[in-house]
Amino acid sequence: MRFRGGWNLGLGALLALGLLGGCSDSTSASDDGGQDGVDGADDGGQDGGEGDLPDAADGADTTPGCGNGVAEENESCDGEDLRGQTCAGLGYTGGELACSECKLDRTGCASACDNDLCETGETATSCSADCGARDVACGTFHTCAVRNDGTLWCWGGEAGLQAGGMGRTSVPRPVPGITGASQVCAGEGHTCVLIGSGVRCFGRNGFGEAGQHPGQAFVFPPAVVPGLEQGVTGISCGRFHTCAKGDGKVTCWGRNDSGQAGAPRTVRLHTPVETAMPEVVGVATGGRHTCASSGVSAVYCWGYGAEGALGSGVGEWTTAPGASLLPDTNGQVGAGDRHACANRFSLGGEDPALYCWGANEYGQVGQPAGAPVLSPQLVQMPSASMVAGGAAHTCALRFHGVYCWGRNDAGQLGDGTTTSTHVPREIALDARSLSVGESHTCVVLRDDLTVRCWGSNLQHQLGIGSADRQSLIPVEPVGL
């Protein structure tokens, strides 16, 4: 959604905001630049009539202008008159603010790393403990990341599928009202975050995917999902439905025309319903299906299965978990738009292995491109610590590398080409987490907790602030 608006300010208001003329805020005595925007004293900096002016006989400088000790309309400060501003008020931990040539001198201000606040002057590179990314989520056309200070940042979704209800943004912006976040997931036009052990969602809600009555087509600011105020340990967003896990259970809500929410078929389901399966340890939502792994070492899928997304061996759909697909799984399960994957434990001396199934027109399940793969098949790579799927590509983490395969027309495999392949391609990145959108991919790097993304940028989902339609190699979102 695009928001339009305008300001109609008179000359006096512009002067009061520090937008016209005069000295400006600076980090050093020699800096030039913009105004700091703090209101000046009324009527040329004087508070009263002539009786309030300093006595010239006492040696005070009563001449208007910089150096008279009075911060006037066009000055950020003057001498000891800092207009009540402090280092803390400007976003620093502390320190002493000074004035130099009627411009604020911030060189005495300081930030403290590892205090759960990403403060002015800190970046993910200089203080990953506060400013580094904790989690990243790729929606269909937008992307969001949770920083270590608990704030949520989103970008992309230019065609009305807004990143957090903030309108158009081609670079990361903080979502208002979100603090204390630890996880994030993103769908076609909605986003959910885990705060403490409760779930809040916002964005599109036509199917109830944001957890509110579908009569509310769009949710913002972020709203608590009723019934999930606590007890949640993980969340996953499908295209138009959402699932949460906690206490060994999985609950889902949103679009359910194929049973993907685990309830009798209905188009809209805004109230979370519990799916009957034991000891849930992992859950992954796809386009119109859901898969979950259990503590009894098995994978179950439900929803739309016409192209093999359920891995049951037949192209059918179901509203409840079917038979176990893979014994001895380790909890790692991922879902794409019409396919899914799961990691399997080592058995009898065999190495751990990754299996995928479902639609395969671009080789996204790790088999030569062709007809749907109706049951789990071994991928030509060892086990993965994390796996995720997009519209027609798949990516996985293994040790210190990222591997991707499937469709690559927008560079979503990140290998510098646009050639699709069923063979996993390695991207030389040491990542700790991974997320896959429709045609783009993002990871959080292990060393400095910065984010890298690649693939389609048609709706600015890479966050690089440019009009480039795609990036074939990893790039870093601007300002995150």
CB 37, CB 254: distance < 8 Å: no
Q: Are 223 and 177 in contact (CB under 8 A)?
A: no
The CA R_g of the chain, rounded to the nearest whole Å, is 27
pLDDT of res. 412: 98
Q: Identify the pLDDT of residue 162.
A: 57
Phi, psi dihedral angles at 156 (to 5 degrees): 95, -165
**How far is Cα 88 from Cα 93, in angstroms, rounded to an integer?**
6
Burial class (CB in 10 A: 0-12, 13-18, 19+), 308: buried
Supply the pLDDT for residue 7: 33
**How many CB atoms within 10 Å of residue 137?**
28
Question: Cα dihedral sign for 310, 312, 316, 318?
Answer: negative
pLDDT string in tens for the chain (480-residue length): 333 333 333 433 333 333 334 333 333 333 343 333 333 333 333 343 333 433 333 333 446 789 999 999 889 999 999 899 888 887 777 788 899 999 988 888 877 787 878 877 787 878 888 899 999 999 999 999 999 999 999 999 876 555 656 677 899 999 988 999 999 999 999 999 999 999 999 999 999 999 999 889 999 999 999 999 999 999 999 999 999 999 999 999 999 999 999 999 888 999 999 988 878 999 999 999 999 998 777 899 999 998 999 998 887 888 888 777 887 776 789 999 999 999 887 655 556 789 999 999 999 999 999 999 999 999 998 778 899 999 999 999 988 899 999 999 999 999 999 999 999 999 999 999 999 999 999 999 999 999 999 999 999 999 999 989 999 999 999 988
Identity (one letter) of the amino acid at 179?
A: T
The length of the chain is 480
DSSP character string of 437-448: -SSEEEEEETTT
